[in-house]
Amino acid sequence: MDIGLVGKPNVGKSTFFAAATLASVQIADYPFTTIEANRGVSYVRTSCPCTELKVTCTPRHGRCEGGTRFVPVELVDVAGLVPGAHSGRGRGNEFLDDLRQAAALIHVVDASGRTDSEGNQIGSPSHDPLADVAFLQEEIDLWVAGLLGRGWDRTARAIESAGGGTDERVIAKAIAERVTGLGITELMVRHALKECNLPPRPTSWDQKALHPLASALRRRSKPLLVAANKADLATEEQLRALAAGVGGTPLVRVSAATELALRRGDRQGVLHYRPGERSFSLAPAANLSGAQEQGIAAIDKTLRRLGSTGVQEALEKATFELLGLVPAFPVEDETKLTDKEGRVLPDCHLLPPGSTAKDLAYKVHTDLGDHFIRALNVRTRRVVGADYAVARGDVLKIVSSA
Ligand SMILES: Nc1nc2c(ncn2[C@@H]2O[C@H](COP(=O)(O)OP(=O)(O)OP(=O)(O)O)[C@@H](O)[C@H]2O)c(=O)[nH]1
Ligand SMILES: [Mg+2]
């Protein structure tokens, strides 16, 4: 499951990606720098039970720093999207195909208004980023509508000849099958159909009728937040107008360039910075050049103004709020909190909301799920059944007959 970084060209998607993954990718101040999608691993923070349960953990993936667990999430940085992309403009459909597996989207916008709708630099801060927010969602809707519409007549006739012309379940199943590669479930389709209130016979739905359905499916299957990037260059008025204009869409103020400088500085040993924190400190032996000193002063100013660079916050909002993922820690030995190899609190799984103890068992191993007997909630020492709804931060020992 990926988090997708989307937006028009030249807004800072690759800068965000590089900051979040520390991978080296191409970054430049002109459109279509990125052609092939970049994929990488970043980390979201969650509280690790190690402190409370008084153990020293040894994570298999990611790391733990002072009781904060950094849990891996996959990130994909795609080519810039321009108006008309759904019909092949710019990098067009290929770009959109890179987003098929994305479970949530971070829409990176240039909040400073210094790039036009195609990502070209403009002399003055005169472009309204709200226009970008609207067109991007519309482009994705048109792409999904296009996928639904292709060969729709045949699907609609098949639904009706199977006697399902008005049966929402039959319609939902047929639609979900058409768009399985997009991560759209039957339940999402049923909810979307209810929302759109389309006329009863699917054979009467033309491209125009499918558009609101595509939009409803996109909102459910790829929830989105706006990363108001280049916030270091944007004025307070610009940031406020953008936040007010996006309505109910969550928004985070971001300076990806600042985050990238901080993480690289930390890696080079010039400064100490922990992702997501509000401040940094200079390494005692740092011998800075004049240019570096200026850079540090600019970073400091941005952090003071924005609170944090927003990169970590955007990733965590996407993970825990848009997707509602629930971190859970399976263990094999409930006393030592270890797995078979003796690693302490080895894994933190991010489960979809509503997941059960049995779902967690399946995440660990198919056999464990198939032969699930019960689970033990290590904190409360209570035995729970297969249907137990896993809560954030649960430590569970799974008992199976496997
Ligand atoms: N001031 C400022 N500049 C930034 C920020 N993030 C990115 N930039 C600059 O914006 C330009 C474009 O950055 P990229 O990361 O290549 O943008 P992109 O969205 O990946 O562009 P394409 O791959 O062409 O779609 C570069 O010059 C970056 O240094 C930021 O937070 N603040
Ligand atoms: Mg790029």
Alpha-carbon distances of 257 from 24, 66, 174, 262, 368, rounded to whole Å: 14, 27, 45, 9, 44
For ligand 1, say whether the CB of 34 is within 6 Å of any of its atoms.
yes
CATH architecture of the domain with residue range 2-37+78-142+223-319: 3-Layer(aba) Sandwich (3.40)
For ligand 1, say whether the CB of 14 is within 6 Å of any of its atoms.
yes
Share of the chain above pLDDT 70, in %: 99
The domain segmentation of the chain, as residue ranges, is 2-37+78-142+223-319, 326-400
* Per-residue pLDDT tens over the stretch 295-343: 999 999 999 999 999 999 999 999 999 999 999 999 999 999 999 999 9
* Per-residue pLDDT tens over the stretch 13-58: 999 999 999 998 999 898 988 888 999 999 999 999 999 999 999 9
Q: Which of 5, 11, 16, 95 to mutate to test the pocket of ligand 1 (most atoms within 8 A of CB)?
A: 11
Q: What is the whole-number distance in angstroms between the Cα of residue 89 and the centre of ligand 2? A: 17
Share of the chain above pLDDT 90, in %: 80
**Per-residue pLDDT at 92:** 65
Please state, rounded to an integer, the average pLDDT across all residues of the chain: 93
pTM: 0.95
State the SS3 of the chain.
Answer: CEEEEECCCCCCHHHHHHHHHCCCCCCCCCCCCCCCCEEEEEEEEEECCCCCCCCCCCCCCCEEECCEEEEEEEEEECCCCCCCHHHCCCCHHHHHHCCCCEEEEEEEEECCCCECCCCCECCCCCCCHHHHHHHHHHHHHHHHHHHHHCCHHHHHHHHHHCCCCCCHHHHHHHHHHHCHHHCCCHHHHHHHHHHHCCCCCHHHCCHHHHHHHHHHHHHHHCCEEEEEECCCCCCHHHHHHHHHHCCCCCEEECCHHHHHHHHHHHHHCCEECCCCCCCCEECCCCCCCHHHHHHHHHHHHHHHHHCCCCHHHHHHHHHHHHCCCEEEEEECECCCCECCCCCECCCCEEECCCCEHHHHHHHHCHHHHHCEEEEEECCCCEEECCCCECCCCEEEEEEECC
> Amino acid identity of 67?
G
Q: Which of 10, 29, 121, 235 to mutate to test the pocket of ligand 1 (most atoms within 8 A of CB)?
A: 10
Q: What is the whole-number distance in angstroms between the Cα of residue 1 and the centre of ligand 1? A: 25
For the residues 215-224, what does the mean pLDDT come to?
Answer: 96
Q: Over 80: is that where the pLDDT of 163 sits?
A: no
Residue whose CA is at the smallest distance from ligand 1 atom 9:
12
Q: Which of 117, 55, 53 is nearest to 80 (CA)?
A: 117
Lowest mean pLDDT among 48-52, 112-116, 287-291, 337-341: 287-291
- More confident call, 95 vs 340: 340
Residue whose CA is at the smallest distance from ligand 1 atom 13:
12
For the residues 206-220, what does the mean pLDDT come to?
Answer: 94
Class at the top of the CATH hierarchy for domain 326-400 = alpha beta
Q: How many beta carbons lie within 10 A of that of residue 200, not counting itself?
A: 11
pLDDT band of 169, cuts 50, 70, 90: confident
**Per-residue pLDDT at 164:** 66
**Per-residue pLDDT at 334:** 95
**Per-residue pLDDT at 200:** 82
For the residues 359-368, what does the mean pLDDT come to?
Answer: 96
Q: What is the whole-number distance in angstroms between the Cα of residue 28 and the centre of ligand 1? A: 6
For the residues 226-234, what does the mean pLDDT come to?
Answer: 98
Q: Over 90: is that where the pLDDT of 168 sits?
A: no
For the residues 147-153, what does the mean pLDDT come to?
Answer: 90
**Per-residue pLDDT at 166:** 74
Q: Which of 43, 46, 59 is nearest to 337 (CA)?
A: 59
Q: Over 80: is that where the pLDDT of 286 sits?
A: no
Q: Over 80: is that where the pLDDT of 1 sits?
A: no
Query: Please, are residues 78 and 5 in contact by the beta-carbon 8 Å criterion?
Result: yes
**Per-residue pLDDT at 8:** 95
**Per-residue pLDDT at 13:** 97
Q: How many beta carbons lie within 10 A of that of residue 281, not counting itself?
A: 9
CA–CA dist 92, 82 (Å, integer): 8
Query: Please, are residues 130 and 109 in contact by the beta-carbon 8 Å criterion?
Result: no
For the residues 193-218, what does the mean pLDDT come to?
Answer: 92
Q: Which of 74, 12, 10 is nearest to 259 (CA)?
A: 12
For ligand 1, say whether the CB of 32 is within 6 Å of any of its atoms.
yes
Q: Which of 346, 349, 345, 347 is nearest to 319 (CA)?
A: 349
pLDDT band of 396, cuts 50, 70, 90: very high
Q: What is the whole-number distance in angstroms between the Cα of residue 15 and the centre of ligand 1? A: 6
Contacts of 177 (CB under 8 A, 6+ apart): none
Atom of ligand 1 nearest to the CA of 30: 24
Q: Which of 390, 248, 264, 240 is nearest to 330 (CA)?
A: 390
**Per-residue pLDDT at 118:** 93
**Per-residue pLDDT at 179:** 87
Residue whose CA is at the smallest distance from ligand 1 atom 16:
27
Q: What is the whole-number distance in angstroms between the Cα of residue 67 and the centre of ligand 1? A: 33
CA 196 distance to own-chain centroid: 26
Q: Which of 13, 15, 34, 229 to mutate to test the pocket of ligand 1 (most atoms within 8 A of CB)?
A: 15
